[in-house]
Amino acid sequence: MRALPDAQRTIAELKELRSFTADENGAQRVAFTRKWVETRAWLRRKLDALPVEIHTDAAGNLWATLHGESDKELIIGGHMDSVPNGGWLDGCLNVLAGLEILRRIHSQYADKPPVTVRLVDWADEEGARFGKSLFGSSACSGNLDLNEARGLVDRDGIHLPEALREVGIDFERVKESGQELKHAAAYLELHIEQGPVLLDLDLPLGAVLGTFGVERHAITFHGQAAHSGSTPMNRRKDAFLAAAKMSPEIYRIAERSHGGVCTIGSCTTKPGIVTSVVEECRITLDQRHLDGPALAKMFQEAKSASETFAREGNVQVSWERLWQIDPRPFHDELIAMCDEAIRETCGKSHRLPSGPLHDAAEVARAGVPAVMMFVQSLHGISHNKIEDTREEHLELCVRAFDKLAEMTMRWIKAKG
Ligand SMILES: [Zn+2]
């Protein structure tokens, strides 16, 4: 008979963690700090009650392994680190639900589950201190840019390699952590949604299709400064006018894209004085979509719209790419199983993309079949002390995620 996870214990452990790692402003488990080291020691004590092998890899990721009949591995991941003043669920819900699932699997199969099951606590998912997220998982997937990371500096002028040395990690060897994925057959991650989609649908859980690709650009319109009193309206080369037309346009572009989002996040003008027509206007545009060709189309449409508005206003336009990342779709069969586990647990499921990046995207990028499950976020808000999820939804997510873990073990075994 199938054993069940004790979801109440997970909720109690989340509260226990909050009691010694949060203050009146929220969670304070920033990676590589003393609080984070304490958090890890607490997690290790919990893991010690199980017959698991525990070690930290070359990038500082913590692994707990329950060996099974097969060397093929089901990996469950999350991150104990938080942003400063963070929420009580982001990252640690994933790890503590994973811990509960390890307990359930151990109690059901004694010491031999059908496949090997591992729990990983990724190091520095948030990138709060050095401004670069997914450190541990991108080192492990092999995608971390060592030259870029070597130069990262925190607010106190401390370089990343130096901060890592403090916690016993040799920066030059972090990519050796890649060997941890040698036997990986599937990767699962539970996470609080961090957005309002499930809240608006009044659904507790959703299956995640993948993480958005991103095109991020600066667009600069170049016109001519001129006196605001003496220049007739029809003689102006107004850089702001052309830029302003982009604002309603990106809403039309997003709507046509079916599922994409576009944001103009900043706008600066020169000379920026009240008595001059704008000579130069720089806006930033962030575009995201789960589908690569759809994202490319959104980008092209924005570009040609900017050229049209520049022509109409007799100004010039130039584009500069600030950042780009491809969409990372999750594994079709795992998405279907995630959907099924949710439906079996609470009747109804929903498939949705993830706007934020997650460690699961790095694991997927390394070629490991991966999927995520989202649980509803009460205010649709994360990275904030008000982040919250109803307790009955927390209970449902542990049960559904456990079901997904069981289905995935069987899926791995059946593939031989
Ligand atoms: Zn997170």
What's the gap in Å between 156 CA and the centre of ligand 1?
A: 25
Mean of the per-residue pLDDT values of the chain = 96
- Residues 294-307 have pLDDT tens digits of 999 999 999 999 99
Q: Are 73 and 115 in contact (CB under 8 A)?
A: yes
What's the gap in Å between 245 CA and the centre of ligand 1?
A: 36
What's the gap in Å between 267 CA and the centre of ligand 1?
A: 29
Of 16 and 356, which is predicted with more confidence? 16
Instruction: Return the pLDDT at 1.
Output: 66
308-312 contact pairs (CB < 8 A, 24+): 309/221, 309/241, 309/242, 309/243, 309/245, 309/246, 309/249, 310/221, 310/242, 312/242, 312/245
What's the gap in Å between 275 CA and the centre of ligand 1?
A: 47
Residue with tokens 């070690």: 55
What's the gap in Å between 92 CA and the centre of ligand 1?
A: 8
pLDDT above 70 covers a percentage of the chain that reads 100
Residue range 77-105: average pLDDT?
Answer: 96
User: Tokens representing 225?
Assistant: 């400064």
Residue in 223, 220, 218 with CA at minimum distance from that of residue 313: 223
Q: Would the pLDDT of 208 be above 90?
A: yes
What's the gap in Å between 377 CA and the centre of ligand 1?
A: 12
What's the gap in Å between 358 CA and the centre of ligand 1?
A: 7
What's the gap in Å between 256 CA and the centre of ligand 1?
A: 30
Residue range 115-133: average pLDDT?
Answer: 93
Q: Would the pLDDT of 111 be above 70?
A: no
Q: Would the pLDDT of 275 be above 80?
A: yes
What's the gap in Å between 414 CA and the centre of ligand 1?
A: 31
pLDDT above 90 covers a percentage of the chain that reads 92
Q: Which of 173-177, 232-236, 284-288, 323-327 has the lowest mean pLDDT?
A: 323-327
Which domains does the chain show, CATH number per domain?
7-211+327-415 (3.40.630.10), 213-325 (3.30.70.360)
- Residues 346-387 have pLDDT tens digits of 999 999 999 988 999 999 999 999 999 999 999 888 889 999
Residue with tokens 């008979």: 1
What's the gap in Å between 61 CA and the centre of ligand 1?
A: 15
Please give the model's pTM, rounded to 2 decimal places. 0.89
What's the gap in Å between 222 CA and the centre of ligand 1?
A: 40
